[in-house]
Amino acid sequence: MVSSCPVYFLTSIMEKVIVTYPPENQSELESNYDRKSELKAFDDSKSGVKGLVDVGLTKIPRIFIHEQHRLDDNSGSRSRVSNFGIPILDLDGIDKDANLRTDIINKVQHACEKWGFFQVVNHGIPESVLHEMIDGICRFHEQELEVKKQLYSRDYTQKVIYNSNHDLYRSPAASWRDTLSCVLAPDPPSPEELPVVCREILTDFSNKVSKLGVTLFELLSEALGLNPSHLKDIGYTDGLYFLGHYYPACPEPELTWGTSAHSDSSFLTVLLQDQIGGLQVLHENQWVDVSPIPGALVVNLGDMLQLISNDRFISVRHRVLAKDVGPRISAACFFKKLRTHLPPENSFKLYGPIKELLSEENPPKYREVTVEELISHYMKVQNEASALDHFKL
């Protein structure tokens, strides 16, 4: 439904309001609608989706309406969610009991081959740290707008930025979320570059996730039949990228997404979500809820890991529902190489299927690619198809 009330985009620099009144019929709507201007007005406001909610919006602007969402809702596919539950792995004692470790490795292998997703408990990060990280993201997004706006940018060569929808001008429709983005490794920002309201917890949380990442990559290596340090030794744990998402309550959640369906370009993603829920993963052509578990972290494999494992492990599509309650808050840490922050010596490094996994019976399924190639193609097709198909031999 198109709003029957004015839609306000507040642009603080000019201290003016851009008002778009909906026409009375669809043909007039099509002739009068200027998507580019509406996107620019929203972007220039630097107030994000939260800014729309704060001014009391009761209908979402058209730039957020996903036509496919309407089709899915009409066909009932949005409500057809499987009763499957993604695997839950308990990491307690894996370094002390060889039999227990072998059992966990087998479970990791199953999860990576069949799901591409799992949750971990007893992972070594205290619940107090997880709660404080959620609170820290909330503090950042709910602080005074004039303070937050100082970090608003679409220049991804910067290490710390805030904006709404990284693909705002490329995607068919915007999603209902705002994001704090930080490049944390291998060349982290100085403490002064991090937001004051979450500086300490962001540093603490990322350090602990980095340590957990080493453990996860060891388990992945062993699940592939490799030496435990194989993936770490060839540098797959070096890069860490943080996203602090804020999903405000949405007045019309049936018309938009919190995050539209996509796969990750990373090697591995470690996600902390609050207890509101909304994350779903595609499994056997059915959407499965990733139900929040207190103290748990969600782990999913990215496209790069599927490529280097030669399809032994899978990277799967997932999405986040918009909800009429909120805000929903999540913290995602991506173990990945960032094309905008690669050391010069790594700019042309090629990544391909791990040679130890190949044989006459299992030849390479992908050509070698650079990070630049993979991410550039990923950005073009992320909401439509797998970026990996382009690199198949």
Give the tens place of pLDDT for each residue, 127-161: 999 999 999 999 999 999 999 999 999 999 999 99
Distance CA 321, CA 171 (A): 17
Distance CA 95, CA 242 (A): 27
Per-residue burial over 246-261, b = 16 or more CB atoms within 10 Å of its CB, e = otherwise: bbbebbbbebbbbbbb
Beta bridge partners, 242, equal 182, 333
Q: Look at the block and give the residue holding tokens 């201007």.
A: 37
Confidence of residue 234 (pLDDT cuts 50, 70, 90): confident
CB neighbour list of residue 86: distance below 8 Å, 6 or more residues apart: 111, 115, 117, 118, 119, 281, 283, 288, 290
Residue whose C-alpha is closest to residue 118's, from 160, 143, 93, 85: 85
Pair 164, 177: CB distance under 8 Å: yes
Pair of tokens at residue 248: 């405000």
Q: Does the pLDDT value for residue 371 go beyond 60?
A: yes
Confidence of residue 338 (pLDDT cuts 50, 70, 90): low
pLDDT score, position 46: 97
Q: Does the pLDDT value for residue 23 go beyond 70?
A: no
Q: What is the mean pLDDT of residues 62-84?
A: 66
Phi, psi (rounded to 5 degrees) for 265: -85, -5
Residue 188: DSSP 8-state = P
Q: What is the mean pLDDT of residues 71-81?
A: 51
Confidence of residue 70 (pLDDT cuts 50, 70, 90): low
Give CA separation, 152 vs 15, 116, 206, 378, in Å.
17, 33, 22, 24
Distance CA 304, CA 109 (A): 17
Percent of the chain with pLDDT over 70: 84
pLDDT digits (tens, 9 = 90+) for 100-114: 999 999 999 999 999
Q: Does the pLDDT value for residue 1 go beyond 70?
A: no
Mean pLDDT, the chain, rounded, equals 88
Beta bridge partners, 119, equal 88, 298
Residue 49: DSSP 8-state = H
Q: Of the ranges 117-121, 256-260, 387-391, which one carries the lowest mean pLDDT score?
A: 387-391
pLDDT score, position 181: 97
Distance CA 293, CA 271 (A): 12
